Amino acid sequence: MYSKREIIALNIANMLHDGDFVNLGVGMPTLVGRYIPRDITVWLHGENGCVGQDATITGTQEEMQRWKAEHGGEDSDWKTGHRDLINASCEYVTLLPGGCCFDSSIAFAMARGGHLDATVLGGLQVDAKGNLANWMVPGKGVPGMGGAMDLVCGAKKVIIAMEHCTKEGAPKLLKECTMPLTAVACVDVVVTEFCILERRGGRFAVTAMNAEIEREELIKRTEMELVFDKRLHEMEMPAD
């Protein structure tokens, strides 16, 4: 049975285009790499200093056999990836042909210079104005927001991958964020397990929904005001 995170990752992967230059943030966003269609090439950027990350090499025995058939390699390659290459979540990865590594300062110059087609980041809260809070968890010590502020200000599109509600069931899509902001009016798209929202004209429009939730239920689980696109379609679900 697929998880909420897999639904989110698949639907974000399907938004990407051949040749896109995309940063995947720590946590859930790194799962997006596993669902990028094999008939396109998306150049994944790591602020630790690389371009061309392939999907993380972890998974089931069936997935391992499929990966080996497509890429070759031994079982040990599948289990560990390359010991000198990691993604934002510190998971071992490989590089696509043509991928390369470089200094972290160059990676941040790419992010700050407007060269990224999109960045995919996790979110704690998003509000009706497109403000993002994703770096400080109340009651927990954190060293800082890391590269998130550079990514949301420099990327051409900011996509937020997050579960629709907190573990306690409280909405994360709010009228106004209550946590410290990462950036103001930066969010373009939010993808949750229930819906896809796009910011248009200062408010969010629901463009796709999970077939297992009704509009009334979605509105009930969301604090911010929602509008529904006339061409509303169903979200894609991972294969069982």
Q: Which residues are catalytic?
A: 47
The DSSP output letter for 224 is S
CA distances from 219 to 42, 142, 176, 194, 212 (A): 34, 32, 16, 11, 14
Structure tokens at 230: 């006339």
- Residue 172: what are its φ and ψ, rounded to 5°? -110, -10
Closest of 18, 98, 108, 110 to residue 54, by C-alpha: 98
DSSP string, 5-24: HHHHHHHHHTT--TT-EEEE
Judged by DSSP in three states, 116 sits in coil
Sign of CA dihedral 103, 109, 110, 116: positive
> Within 10 A of 21 (CB to CB), how many other CB atoms are there?
16
Non-local (6+) Cβ contacts of 68 within 8 A are 75, 78
With residue 108 as reference, give the H or E element that holds it.
helix 104-112
